[in-house]
Structure 1
Amino acid sequence: MRRPLSRTVLAAATAAACLALVAGCGSDDGPAAASAPPVSGGVTSPPATGTAGSLDVVLHDASGAEVGTVTLTPVDGAVRVEGSLHGLPAGGYHGFHIHQNPVCDPKAAGGPFSTAGGHFNPGATMHGDHAGDLPPLLVDEDGTARLQAQTDRFELDDLRAQGAAVVVHAQPDNLAHIPDRYTAQGAATPGPDERTAATGDAGDRIACGVIEKS
């Protein structure tokens, strides 16, 4: 009469069988693991930097027609500026800035959107160094424009604290870069006159969008 195998012998036999199998016992690559449902509650990746707290600014022209959206996103101590615009004058560069007042009145007595005030400029610097100065906007022949820029001259909370506006101008912006060999008509000295130093001669305001105070 044969005696039953002891527990020690059974354990050894099981271990040997495991070693003989290609998949292996308890392996994460085995059939049992492949068919097992995923375990919930695992570690997830953090959200991408700068995706939270974005602000969409809708721009309108002087007739009231919507001409696009500019999105401001805080990212790594700066603000990413992205936009898609249409219905603008065909072809060429246009001044593009953040202005200091959250008011876009197309029928303002001082001209369309003059209620947005001057450039956002808490540091009281010359144009070209204003916190609200952004790269000139290049418009295609079909009146569309796409932009992407990044600036660390302000934070999004700075704009929300007082309100502001995004403005597109009718003319190119020279960023007050006027060499001393040029002298404006009526100016006392060579270089940029007061108007150029303030606005870059970007002309009328043709589109505006409000950043609400919050």
Structure 2
Amino acid sequence: MPYRSATRAAAVLAAIALATPAMSLAADDAKAPAAETTTATATFVDASGRDNGSATLTGTPTGVLIATDLRGLPPGTWVAFHIHEGDACDAEQGHKTAGGHFNPDGRAHGYLAEGGPHAGDMPNQQVAQDGTLVVEVFNSAVRLDQGDTGIMGRTLMIHAGRDDYRSQPAGAAGDRIACGVIGGA
């Protein structure tokens, strides 16, 4: 992961920590133990199976911060960004091994759908004119572990088009063009 993304992720986490209200201390002034920060990485491969970027995921007490740095995407376009339930990215099969969207609660797909969204739904992202996508997305519906809402071992997916936030089951976002398995740091 390039230095700029790791530095930006650290700055965002510091801002979250500063904005979080302090917890009350017990009468004996005992301090609660500090929460451990969990991190993971994902290496993306494109539709041809070539490495085209990475992500650093940081678990927080309220969700997961996902910082990406990808290249070779369709320049100047909007693309869908999701967490999928599968544990593999097989480019020869069009990344179908990544399965469907991560949806542990059985909800409808999309921010605009009644009963939605899936835990794996995230906002569309705009690719820069040079084909890069450097973003940070926070998902409060998931955790960086292997529990019911855990995404460790699952996949991050970039689709060729934008998610319409309502079509079932996946937002009519088009081909799967970049995929990365979430693993340990």
The question of a shared fold, defined as TM-score above 0.5 by the shorter chain, is answered with yes
Q: Of 161, 165, 178, which aligns to 2:155?
A: 165
**Structure-to-structure mapping, 1:14-163, within 5 angstroms:** 52-108=37-93, 112-128=94-110, 129-157=117-145, 158-160=150-152, 163=153
Contact kept? 1:124, 1:130, Cα under 8 Å: yes
* Aligned counterpart, 2:177: 206
Contact kept? 2:38, 2:60, Cα under 8 Å: no
Within 2, Cα distance between the matches of 1:116 and 1:132? Answer: 12
Residue 212 of structure 1 deviates from its aligned partner by 4.4
Within 1, Cα distance between the matches of 2:139 and 2:88? Answer: 23
Contact kept? 1:102, 1:212, Cα under 8 Å: no
Task: Give % identity.
Answer: 40
Within 2, Cα distance between the matches of 1:203 and 1:95? Answer: 9
Bigger relative contact order, structure 1 or 2, given CA contacts below 8 A and separation 6+?
2
Contact kept? 1:102, 1:164, Cα under 8 Å: yes
Within 2, Cα distance between the matches of 1:212 and 1:150? Answer: 18
Is the alpha carbon distance of 1:146 and 1:49 closer, same or farther for their aligned partners in structure 2, counting shifts above 3 Å?
A: farther
Residue 76 of structure 1 deviates from its aligned partner by 2.6
Within 1, Cα distance between the matches of 2:55 and 2:126? Answer: 14
Q: Report the secondary structure of 2:168's partner residue.
A: helix
> Larger radius of gyration, structure 1 or 2?
1
- Deviation string 1:24-57 (CA, Å, 9 cap, x unpaired) is xxxxxxxxxxxxxxxxxxxxxxxx977x321111
* Aligned counterpart, 1:20: none
Q: Report the secondary structure of 2:169's partner residue.
A: helix
Residue 107 of structure 1 deviates from its aligned partner by 1.1
> How many residue pairs end up in the alignment?
141
Q: What's the Cα RMSD here?
A: 1.7
One-letter amino acid of the structure 1 residue matched with residue 141 of structure 2: R
Q: Report the secondary structure of 1:71's partner residue.
A: strand
Unmatched tracts of structure 2, length 5 or more = 1-33, 111-116
Within 1, Cα distance between the matches of 2:52 and 2:138? Answer: 22
Within 1, Cα distance between the matches of 2:170 and 2:59? Answer: 26
